[in-house]
Amino acid sequence: MTVHGGIGQAIKRKEDARFVRGKGNYVDDVKLPGMLYLDIVRSPYAHARIRSINIEKAMKVPGVLAVVTGKDLAMANLAWMPTLMSDKQMVLPTDRVMYQAQEVAGVVAESRYAAADGVAAVEVDYDPLPVVVDPKKALEPDAPILRPDRKEQTNRIWHWEVGDREGTDKALKSSDVVVRENLYIPRILVSSIETCGCVASFDAMGKLTLWMTTQAPHAIRTVFAMVTGLPEQKIRIISPDLGGGFGGKVPVYPGYVLAVVAALKTGQPVKWIEDRSENLQADSFARDYHITAEIGATKDGKLTALRVKTIADHGYTDAAANPSKFPAGLFHIITGSYPFQKAHVEVDGVYTNKPPGGIAYRCSFRVTEAAFTIERMVDILAHKLGMDPAEFRMKNFIPSGAFPFKSVLGWTYDSGNYPAALRKAMDLIGYDALRKEQAEKRKQGELMGIGISSFTEIVGAGPSHTFDILGLKMFDSCEVRIHPTGKAIARFGTKSQGQGHETTYAQILAEELGLSSEDISVEEGDTDTAPYGLGTYASRSTPTAGAAAAIAARKIRDKGQKIAAHLLEVGPGDLEWKDHKFQVKGVPDKAKTMQEVAFAAYTNLPPGMEMGLEAVDYYDPPNMTYPFGSYICAVDIDKETGEVHIRRFVAVDDCGTIINPMIVDGQIHGGLTMGLAPALLEEIQYDENGNIQGGSFMDYLLPTAVETPKWETAKTTTPSPHHPLGAKGVGESATVGAPAAIVNAVVDALAHLGVTHIDIPMTPWKVWNILHQKGVA
């Protein structure tokens, strides 16, 4: 017997009913009586001393009520705030600005327009300072020290390494073939279509309610309590409907803090909504990794060792959002789908005059950087050896019988079947026929390429022994209450940003409780009502909170079994949970449903039993989960324009047990598009003075429906052995896996011209220049 809306069913989403009617409730839709608007004065310089800030004219602008500067904040000890990586970040500067578009002052007014007028009237006198844009130059001995406030007088924030340095050196030296490549993964921005913002409001009792675009409301409440000194029970964070997140709504931006300060000072609610150019110019960036990788193999094509050195540009402060123990995130998943014997990875975090960040762009902590590097390097090596890249991967994959597999850099992969995924992708795209066609086309002088990426992710952070953020263990939670009529409400510590949690969490509970998913409401995002959790990012919702839902439901079943036994006048041990009912073993028609048990929980309990039917679970995962997949991309390149046309893209994903196939496919489609974006279009660049070169959607190009191909998706299913449902998480797989497939395809199309690598984004101009140099265009 299947339950309506249980696990594995492609049911339609509950949340769509409000979204298609324009009845979502996003932060900018919150309107309170007497609400004021905050707008922000930003620095035109990347590095400058502030001589003076004159607010006199601004205060005379009609509608302007207040102006906040760094000096005001310093008096309340709020000019600086801690970052998640134990560095510190300015809310507003008191003497120096560190990047272009940095917040310099806040203007509070009766309307958006008046606030903007006020911003234009604030006069700031700057004294420009030398700018450090290139992180490699930042490490040179004569570079200006950007953070004189630190004890260590260097622009190197930290050095982090893992693996066997000497063993790797030796293994590379004795390898028959070694290739080395410099890969730059540019600075990009997640650019969710909804920008960031908040509404801050204090009630008469001094309680702050903060409607906020945040993926992690509970952790943010704790951080706010620690930074401001407000008692934690007097802070209520509400994360309403979010218009996308992708990692960009994890950090605490200065605007949030300013809105709270402004609300406190004016005694009125204050709204702050950043505009797109502010979002692109000042919010946390992703990537910006300068990587040098070396990879070795025997002459018959067996991988031997991997060495990776990276310079990580963090901007002026380390405001990355990584688990505390991992300044470079989980970059050491970089051995990927292969059983290397030796590997060594080192990363240097560096300060520059750029906005801070180092957050995800729809990926678990630095996992895209890792997957991109290994999948590029394996491809380069296969070409060097003259082997087909599919055959080369097949020869080197971790064998499917080797799981759980301990990687040389210390991770224990839970499960996998890499050859099956690649084989399926090859069959679906017709790999052999495509190779034949490519050979034909090449004879005719046409440029066609085929690229593969067989990636392994690490998501679902994470086990408390290893994973914390500012000491907060990275568990997550679910609380379920079943009402007398057998309907239920469930609340979670995570926060959907479009993933469809209201639907999928209800499906998990429906399956585990034997109720219809329609009878289960799901709520998240309100810290006054939801149980504590670390939030939604790094594909962790299903691995952590999804597991908590299953365990909480099973706790309810434990109690329910006793109630059912009481109703059936048998011992609890005589019952089994079968076909979504409590059945007397071997007597299927003698059974009680969860609905009957729920009613009894409030009306007819066994003597001595506590009333009610509810449970909560705080789930501490025993391990990370390791989704994987194989992607194959076929491209045609226009010789006249350098334009890359993705002809076909087949994505075979394995995320373990699938809760809702429709939603999983949607996640893959979106992830693939955010993989295509940095491969072909997106990059935030700076000139030598630290001026941003792509501060609006005029220059920072998101893929439209025209550039985006018709993605083809398929699945293999290898459940996680340690997750109660076997699920692994899926939101980010495709963003992690896709870029290497696209670059590998483009390089493959140009390999006969001697091209071994092209840095992303592979814009028409960049590709055309290569073709021109090679005498093809």
Partner 1 sequence: MAVAEMPAAREEEMGPTANIRVTVNGAPRSATVETRTLLVHFLRENLGLTGTHIGCDTTNCGACAVLLDGKAVKSCTVLAVQADRREVRTVESLETDGKLHPVQEGFIEEHGLQCGFCTPGMMMSAVALLQKNPRPTEEQIRRAISGNLCRCTGYVNIVKAIQYASSKMKAGPSGGRRA
CB of 302 to partner 1, least distance (A): 37
Considering beta carbons, is residue 570 or 662 the nearer one to partner 1? Answer: 662
Using CA atoms, how far apart are residues 90 and 391, in angstroms rounded to an integer? 52
CB of 162 to partner 1, least distance (A): 33
What φ, ψ does residue 694 adopt, rounded to 5°? -145, 55
| Nearest distance, CB of residue 370 and partner 1, angstroms | 23
205 binds partner 1 (CB under 8 A): no
Neighbours of 199 (CB within 10 A): 26
Which residues, including other chains, have CB under 8 Å from residue 469's CB and lie 6 or more apart? Answer: 84, 219, 321, 323, 324, 534
Of the listed pieces 149-157, 185-193, 335-343, 600-608, which binds partner 1 according to CB under 8 A?
Answer: 185-193
- Of 42-50, 377-385, 423-431, 664-672, the segment contacting partner 1 by CB under 8 A is 664-672
Please select the residue that binds partner 1; options are 217, 315, 349, 500, rule is CB under 8 A.
Answer: 500
Token representation of residue 515: 């109720």
The pair of three-digit structure tokens given for residue 588, joined into one six-digit string: 């299927």
678 sits near partner 1 (criterion: CB under 8 A): no
Q: Which of 119, 146, 242, 328 binds partner 1 (CB under 8 A)?
A: 242
| Residue number with CB closer to partner 1 (466 or 708) | 708
Q: Annotated catalytic sites, by residue?
A: 215, 362-363, 732
In the list 373, 456, 673, 720, the residue contacting partner 1 (rule: CB under 8 A) is: 673
Q: For partner 1, give the closer residue by CB, 230 or 242.
A: 242
Extract the runs of DSSP E, i.e. beta strands, from 138-280. 156-163, 177-188, 197-202, 208-212, 235-238, 270-273
User: Tokens in use for 318?
Assistant: 């380390």
Taking the least distance from each CB to partner 1, the nearer of 31 and 443 is 31
Residue 696 in contact with partner 1, rule: CB under 8 A:
yes
Closer to partner 1 by Cβ: residue 273 or 548? 273
Rounded CA-CA distance 201/666 in Å is: 36
Counted residue by residue, the chain has a size of 777
Give yes or no for residue 698 binding partner 1 (CB under 8 A).
yes
Q: Find the shortest distance in angstroms from Cβ 697 to partner 1.
A: 4
Distance CA 340, CA 9 (A): 39
Q: Which one among 9, 69, 222, 310 touches partner 1, defined by CB under 8 A?
A: 69
Interaction of residue 697 with partner 1, rule CB under 8 A: yes
**Tokens 């975090």 -> residue:** 349
Site for partner 1 in 595-614 (CB under 8 A): none
Q: Is residue 55 near partner 1 by the rule CB under 8 A?
A: yes
Structure tokens at 632: 């194959």
Encoded tokens for 146: 């950007």
φ and ψ at residue 473, rounded to 5 degrees = -65, 145
**Residue 194 in contact with partner 1, rule: CB under 8 A:** yes
In contact, 297 and 177? CB cutoff 8 Å: yes
Cβ atoms within 10 Å, residue 454: 31
Instruction: Confirm or reject binding of residue 66 to partner 1 (CB under 8 A).
Output: yes
Stretch that binds partner 1, among 143-151, 186-194, 291-299, 418-426 (CB under 8 A): 186-194
Binding-site string for partner 1 from residue 251 to residue 280, where x marks contact by CB under 8 A and - marks none: ----------x---xx------x-xxx---
- Give yes or no for residue 112 binding partner 1 (CB under 8 A): yes
| Cα-based distances in Å from 178 to 297, 341, 745 | 7, 15, 22
Burial of 1 (0-12, 13-18, 19+ CB in 10 A): exposed
Site size toward partner 1 (CB under 8 A) is 76
> Is 68 a residue that touches partner 1 (CB under 8 A)?
yes
User: Does 195 interact with partner 1 (rule: CB under 8 A)?
Assistant: yes
Residue 341's contacts (CB-CB under 8 Å, 6 or more residues apart) are: 171, 304, 305, 408
- Which tokens in the block code for residue 38? 């905050």
Give the nearest distance from C-beta 703 to partner 1 in angstroms.
8
Residue 46 CB, shortest distance to partner 1, in Å, is 22
Rule CB under 8 A: which of 545-564 touch partner 1? Answer: none
Identify residues 702-731 at the interface with partner 1 (CB under 8 A). 702, 704-706, 708, 710-711
Buried b (16+ CB within 10 A) or exposed e, 369-383: bbbbbbbbbbbbbbb
Does the footprint of partner 1 cover residue 64 (CB under 8 A)? yes
Of positions 207, 384, 669, 766, contacts partner 1 by CB under 8 A: 669
- Using CA atoms, how far apart are residues 348 and 367, in angstroms rounded to an integer? 17
- Each residue 388-427 as x (binds partner 1 by CB under 8 A) or -, in order, gives ----------------------------------------
If residue 292 lies in a helix (H) or strand (E), which one and from where to where?
A: strand 285-297
Does 190 bind partner 1 (CB under 8 A)? Our answer is yes
* The binder of partner 1 chosen from 244, 301, 484, 572 (CB under 8 A): 244
> With CB under 8 A as the contact rule, which of the stretches 231-239, 561-569, 667-675, 752-760 interacts with partner 1?
667-675
Nearer of residues 68 and 178 to partner 1, judged by Cβ? 68
Query: For the window 2-21, what string marks contact with partner 1 as x by the rule CB under 8 A?
Result: ----------xx-xxxxxxx
Applying CB under 8 A, which part among 134-142, 302-310, 350-358, 662-670 lies near partner 1?
A: 662-670
Instruction: For residues 290 and 369, give the distance between their C-alpha atoms in angstroms, rounded to a whole number.
Output: 10
Residue 41 makes contact with partner 1 by CB under 8 A: no
Cβ closest to partner 1, residue 107 vs residue 409: 107
d(C-alpha 107, C-alpha 114), whole Å: 9
Between residues 72 and 511, which has the closer beta carbon with respect to partner 1?
72
Gap between the Cα atoms of 96 and 75, Å rounded: 17
Q: Exactly one of 336, 498, 719, 724 binds partner 1 (CB under 8 A); which one?
A: 498
Instruction: Say if residue 761 is preceded by a cis peptide, omega within 30 of 0.
Output: yes
Strands annotated E in 463-586: 468-469, 472-473, 476-482, 488-492, 520-524, 575-578, 581-584
Provide the H-helix boundaries in 586-660.
594-603
Taking CB under 8 A as the binding criterion, the range among 175-183, 385-393, 694-702, 754-762 that sits at the site for partner 1 is 694-702
Closest CA to 132 of 351, 305, 449, 337: 351
Residue 555 and residue 478 in contact, taking contact as beta carbons nearer than 8 Å: no
Residue 104 CA to residue 340 CA, distance in Å, equals 49
Region from 141-149, 201-209, 448-456, 700-708 binding partner 1, contact rule CB under 8 A:
700-708
Q: Which is nearer to partner 1, 20 or 433 (CB)?
A: 20
Q: Contact with partner 1 (CB under 8 A): which of 674, 684, 749, 771?
A: 674
Token reading at 22: 């324009």
Q: Give the interface segment with partner 1, choosing from 214-222, 326-334, 690-698, 716-724 (CB under 8 A).
A: 690-698
- DSSP state for residue 541 in the 8-state scheme: I
| Best CA proximity match to 539, nearest among 507, 503, 497 | 497
Q: Is the peptide bond before 404 cis (omega within 30 degrees of 0)?
A: yes
**Smallest gap from residue 413 Cβ to partner 1 (A):** 28
Collapse the DSSP code of 562 into the 3-class scheme (helix H, G, I; strand E, B; otherwise coil) and give the result.
Answer: helix
Which of the residues 468 through 497 are near partner 1 (CB under 8 A)? 497
70-109 residues near partner 1, rule: CB under 8 A: 72, 109
| Stretch touching partner 1 by CB under 8 A, among 64-72, 214-222, 295-303, 399-407 | 64-72
Cα–Cα nearest to 363, from 724, 764, 734: 734
